[in-house]
Amino acid sequence: MLRTYYRSLKYLSRSVRRAFGTFPRECPLCGYHGKFLGYGYPYVCDIYCPRCGSLERHRLLCIAERERRFFAGRDVLHFAPEVAVRSLILAGQPKSYVTADPFVSGIDRKENIEALTFADRSFDVVVCLHVLEHVDDRAAIRELYRVLRPGGLLVAMFPIVEGWDETFEDSSKSSQEDRLLHFGQHDHARYFGRDARQRLAQPGFVVEEFTAVEPHVARHGLTRGEKVFVCHRPSEPKPILAGDITDREAPPVARTLPEPVFLLQSPPSGWPLDTAAQPPN
Ligand SMILES: [Zn+2]
């Protein structure tokens, strides 16, 4: 028994030493080079940029943005706005930028994501990171689809257990202790499984995935296999003109899940980053 406690203390001591970082990393958001700090509950070492406050998911979105340029010239809604992501979006030069959240002060709009007050087709891009596991995700996804214009994008991230076919949710697990035990956080309502893709596709989105792979994982302190889900609201078909055989024979818009079409396997062009182009800290 004493030996077991001694071993636990040894692991605790090692963890404390690693609280201030293990390996030097690069933050693609602010250009920081050095060790990342720990963050969260339960505590995770080596994930928090001490300069800009970015976490793994923010840095993965930054790399995806460098590949895809989601924001340039577009009307962007940012739900539950994180400071690091706000800087990233503004550096992408959107046409307009609106922040929304039900609780946080100092933002543009107080909004319930399950019943948004924005008009239909108000935005080109919606960014929604680590929100859907807290709320009625089906209602929220319907609302996000509604406020996007045809051709628009929902950029979403959330915790997902790829080993599970189905999302685990149980409304009887309502106490903070139960939610912490079953969903990993006191205010989470579910753990998504692989069927999260079908849940995203339900209102009509076509879902792509952007995955964290090497060399980015080690270089930027990302979580292996973490995904950015990029959900496309299909463009509406052109109106059919009399005698226009081509339009009449056009295939219907695909609504099925495609294979992931962009898995980043190599550094994006222009790497290493031009630090002059970095967003402000
Ligand atoms: Zn940073």
The string of pLDDT tens digits covering residues 102-131 is 998 899 999 999 999 999 999 999 999 999
- Rounded to the nearest whole angstrom, what is the distance from the C-alpha of residue 34 to the centroid of ligand 1? 10
**Distance from the CA of 60 to the center of ligand 1, in angstroms?**
12
Domain range annotation of the chain: 55-165+191-277
Q: pLDDT tens for residues 248-263?
A: 444 333 333 344 334 4
% of residues, the chain, pLDDT over 70: 84
Q: Is the model more confident about 275 or about 172?
A: 172
- Whole-number Å distance, alpha carbon 100 to ligand 1 midpoint, is 23
Higher pLDDT, 278 or 158: 158
Question: From ligand 1's centre to the CA of 33, what distance in Å?
Answer: 9
**How much distance in Å is there from the Cα of 56 to the middle of ligand 1?**
10
Q: Sign of torsion, CA 18 50 29 158?
A: positive
Contacts 24+ apart (CB under 8 A), 193-198: 193/160, 193/161, 193/162, 193/163, 193/164, 193/165, 193/166, 193/167, 193/168, 194/160, 194/162, 194/164, 194/165, 194/166, 195/165, 195/166, 195/167, 196/158, 196/160, 196/167, 196/229, 197/229, 197/257, 198/257
Q: What is the pLDDT of residue 18?
A: 72
- What digits encode the pLDDT tens for the residues 68-81? 999 999 999 999 99
Distances (CA, A) of 176 to 159, 167, 168, 251: 18, 19, 16, 49
Ligand 1 centre distance from Cα of residue 211 (Å): 20
- Domain covering 55-165+191-277 assigned CATH 3.40.50.150 in the classification: yes
pTM attached to this predicted model = 0.80
Distance from Cα 280 to the centre of ligand 1, integer Å: 10
Task: Find the 278 Cα to ligand 1 centroid distance in Å.
Answer: 10
